[in-house]
Structure 1
Amino acid sequence: MNWNGVFPAVTTKFHADGSIDYDTFFLNLEAQLEGGVKGVILGGTLGESSVLEDEEKIELTQRTVEKLAGRVPVILNIAEGSTAKAIQWAQKAEKLGVEALMLLPPMRYPSDHRETVAYFKAVADATSLPIMIYNNPVDYKTYVTLEMFEELAACDNIQAVKESTRDVSNVTRMKTKFGDRYKILCGVDTLTMESVLMGADGLVAGLVCAFPKETVVLFDLIKARKIDEALEIYRWFLPLLELDIHPKLVQYIKLAEQMVGLGTENVRAPRLTLIGEERERIEKIIQTGIDNRPALASLKTSV
């Protein structure tokens, strides 16, 4: 598994009646590939996994694997409350042709050090798929510490971490302690430049769903240490990237997808589409970004 590059946490597209809109979903997937992403992640927060039935998640995964046909890896997110259910999904994903997993600590129960390590090891031992641990104590309350990663190093297929602690210095801590043992992927859009400059190998992104080309060019410029060119994109991008760190990130990013012609704003309850002053405010942020999109052709030649 190549964990380098940009990996969109893709949204699940819905028709107005709530059914999955595969035509629009695949339209967006093709735009992601055209933009240069290195894989796609299904079933995350942006994918509204919590409101998908198991049968829908299986069908979505199957159809995505078939559609992409090996062009880039498909990564399935696992966020479960029980070890047994997480293992079931890991084994099911392997049968469905998924190339890797993103794995959260146990949901709803804030596991301690021993429990968290045991959970991750149990899932890792049950599959041969490469695993990226999702470390997001801000939203999910469990902090995967350096000491935990030290124990998890015994599991060869635990290969990467989605670094969402909001502490950019944690990239350096991980690199200092483990070298290249774990690939580090920035998981917070608003820390993209800072994290990649500190050594992050990849980016699990949200606004890439609406702006794939800009996200990939930004990442490539930072990797190439073309700082002035990267800053030109990053300063334009930051008001949009801040839509990713709000409880309504799903509604905000889906609205952005709709406004650029790569999706619809339809969500499933309990989420509701935006109305009133909030909608006007978010639309203005997105439209300002659209109206001032940087000229990528000249910037790409710098990479």
Structure 2
Amino acid sequence: MRLEKFHGIIPAFYACYDDQGDISEARTKDLCDYLYEKQVQGVYVGGSSGECIYQSLDERKAVLSYVANQLKGKMTLIAHVGAPSTRDSIELAKHAAALGYDALSAIPPIYFKLPDRAVYKYWSDIIEATPLDFIIYNIPQTTGYTLTPSLFEKLLTNKKVIGVKNSSMPTMDIERFKKVGGDNVIVFNGPDEQYVAGRIMGADGGIGGTYGAMPELFLQANVFIQQGKFEEAKLIQSDINDIIIALCSLNGSMYAVIKEVLKRRGVNIGSVRGPLEGISSEDEGQIDNIMKMIDQAINRFCK
């Protein structure tokens, strides 16, 4: 029962800015309401999709507060608290715990290449700072650090460590982490492009950066997997992948394109913060095509 609330579809929450590029409480609430209406399992707040590395500590704390005020008690809340320093990570962790989040998560330390013992201590110091459950975040393609099954096994000796958000591309990594942890550990599929494959290889749910652009499709993919309809799941994954490729093919960053899609759906959460690139005039027409792709897939699989 303790882990069931982490199963299912958990969108990575987007940074919500006003027209001047500052954190917007009102727009954060709008995104909360939008995702709640879509009936997703929860939200992962303050990670890559939340543009955490481009925000100050106070801004990140504010976002955690705004989301908790709107969604606490309504869905599962996971706070990503990874920061350049252990001190800042612990401050964010304590803030999230005070707000009533269900769990914490953190990437490994970035920039300096650190040995396993330093990474282990970093995660352990965050874990011990609060009574909350903790989810390791493995994303080697951006952090330069690869979580090994042996270090994961060592971290699992702490009972507050309940799982891993695995965003490495090989689905074998999901199988390996699940084998180490077994049924008492949650493994989240990270790469949206392999959601179905990750689930079949043992992932219990998913946390993803494109879920918010097309929650209906990921929710339906989850249903297909639960029903054992793997052929249908493969087909919906193919459509999802076509959409993801389109989202990543424009001048603006993927997150800027997703935010424009949401804006045209009536959920204006601003653009992205530099050095991420906003959409260009050349992107405008292509975004209409992406929205058509999403709508066509929803009509195909979700009606």
- TM-score by structure 1 length? 0.89
Instruction: Provide the rounded CA distance (Å) in 1 between the counterparts of 2:156 and 2:197.
Output: 26
Distance 1:124 1:162, change over 3 A: same
The number of residues matched between the two structures is 298
Match of 2:162 among 144, 159, 164: 159
Unaligned runs of 5+ in 2: none
2:259 equivalent in structure 1: 254
Deviations, residues 179-208 of structure 1 (Å, cap 9, x unaligned): 224210001100101001111101001222
SS in 2 for 1:125: helix
Asked if structure 1 preserves the Cα contact closer than 8 Å seen for 2:253 and 2:277, the reply is no
| Pairwise CA distance, 1:70 | 0.7
Q: 1:99-248 residue pairs with structure 2 within 5 A? A: 99-242=102-245, 248=253
Amino acid at match of 2:104: L
Amino acid at match of 1:84: R
Deviations, residues 198-231 of structure 1 (Å, cap 9, x unaligned): 1110100122212222221211212321123323
Instruction: Provide the rounded CA distance (Å) in 1 between the counterparts of 2:180 and 2:254.
Output: 33
2:21 equivalent in structure 1: 18
Match of 2:63 among 60, 78, 85: 60
Instruction: Provide the rounded CA distance (Å) in 1 between the counterparts of 2:22 and 2:88.
Output: 25
Asked if structure 2 preserves the Cα contact closer than 8 Å seen for 1:28 and 1:209, the reply is no
| Pairwise CA distance, 1:262 | 3.0
| Pairwise CA distance, 1:274 | 1.5
Runs of 4+ in 1 over 6 A off after TM superposition: 244-247
1:273 equivalent in structure 2: 278
Asked if structure 1 preserves the Cα contact closer than 8 Å seen for 2:175 and 2:201, the reply is yes
Give the RMSD, CA atoms, in angstroms. 2.3
Instruction: Provide the rounded CA distance (Å) in 2 between the counterparts of 1:91 and 1:23.
Output: 24
Instruction: Provide the rounded CA distance (Å) in 2 between the counterparts of 1:14 and 1:284.
Output: 25
Amino acid at match of 1:131: F
Asked if structure 2 preserves the Cα contact closer than 8 Å seen for 1:254 and 1:265, the reply is yes
| Pairwise CA distance, 1:295 | 4.2
Amino acid at match of 2:153: E
Asked if structure 2 preserves the Cα contact closer than 8 Å seen for 1:7 and 1:38, the reply is yes
Asked if structure 1 preserves the Cα contact closer than 8 Å seen for 2:28 and 2:63, the reply is no
Unaligned runs of 5+ in 1: 299-303
Instruction: Provide the rounded CA distance (Å) in 1 between the counterparts of 2:160 and 2:247.
Output: 29
Amino acid at match of 2:207: V
Instruction: Provide the rounded CA distance (Å) in 2 between the counterparts of 1:145 and 1:29.
Output: 34
Instruction: Provide the rounded CA distance (Å) in 1 between the counterparts of 2:58 and 2:224.
Output: 40
Match of 1:48 among 47, 51, 75: 51
Distance 1:292 1:127, change over 3 A: closer
Instruction: Provide the rounded CA distance (Å) in 2 between the counterparts of 1:172 and 1:114.
Output: 24
SS in 1 for 2:183: coil
2:10 equivalent in structure 1: 7
Distance 1:175 1:156, change over 3 A: same
Asked if structure 2 preserves the Cα contact closer than 8 Å seen for 1:210 and 1:262, the reply is no
Deviations, residues 124-143 of structure 1 (Å, cap 9, x unaligned): 12221111111011111011
Asked if structure 2 preserves the Cα contact closer than 8 Å seen for 1:35 and 1:216, the reply is no
The percent of aligned pairs where both chains have the same amino acid is 24
Distance 1:177 1:292, change over 3 A: closer
Match of 2:34 among 31, 36, 39: 31
Instruction: Provide the rounded CA distance (Å) in 2 between the counterparts of 1:178 and 1:264.
Output: 38
SS in 2 for 1:180: helix
